[in-house]
Structures are given as C-alpha cells and as structure tokens.
Structure 1
Amino acid sequence: MPQMAPLLWLYLYMFFLISFIIFLMVNYFIKPFETIDSNVIGKSSSNYLDWKL
C-alpha cells in the first residue's frame, strides 16, 4: 500500500537516529588508548644525532 511509505521512512529515520546516538555514547564512554608520555619520547630520540646547520 502506498500509504505506508511515509511510515517506513519514519521508522528508518528513527532507527538511524537511535543507532547513531548509541554509537556516539559508546565511543564517548570507551577509554581511549594510553597516551605516550612525552618524556619517553624524548629519551628514545636522544640516541639519534640532531641535524645542525
């Protein structure tokens, strides 16, 4: 029936909206990877010689 087409789009829109909100919430609450300490980077790069002009 053609009268049901607007409801189909409404259901698809609501499904997309709810799944997008859930996706954003999951990404917000999951811990990110551990950040690399800048002191560790400085120590490891001290083995290489700096370029001098």
Structure 2
Amino acid sequence: MRRRVPGRLLLETAGPPDEVAKILPPVTVADGQLAQGLGVLGEAVASVVGLRALAA
C-alpha cells in the first residue's frame, strides 16, 4: 500500500501486516532534500508512537 505522509513524503508498506515502511526517494536527491525527507519521516513516526502511547 502506498501512502502520502503529510510533508510530501511518499512511502510504501510491505510485509504481512504492513510491518515494513519503504521510502521512495528519487534516484538522484540532494543531501538537503534527503535530510528534509528523513526529518518528515521522523516526525511522522514520532506522531504515531505518541498516538499509540496515548491509546495504551
């Protein structure tokens, strides 16, 4: 399944219950763009972890 993460990051999930997140950067990417994309991914993961902690 492919999803767009807020912040213009495209990722694809894989594995039995979508356990794996694959990022899909362009073939050529500038260091700054890569850092920005990884920052967006980090923020998305932190928000999900925070939501799960609140639900527990």
TM-score normalised per structure 2: 0.47
Rg larger in 1 or in 2? 1
Higher relative contact order (CA 8 A, sep 6+): 2
Relative to total residues, which structure has the larger helix share, 1 or 2?
1
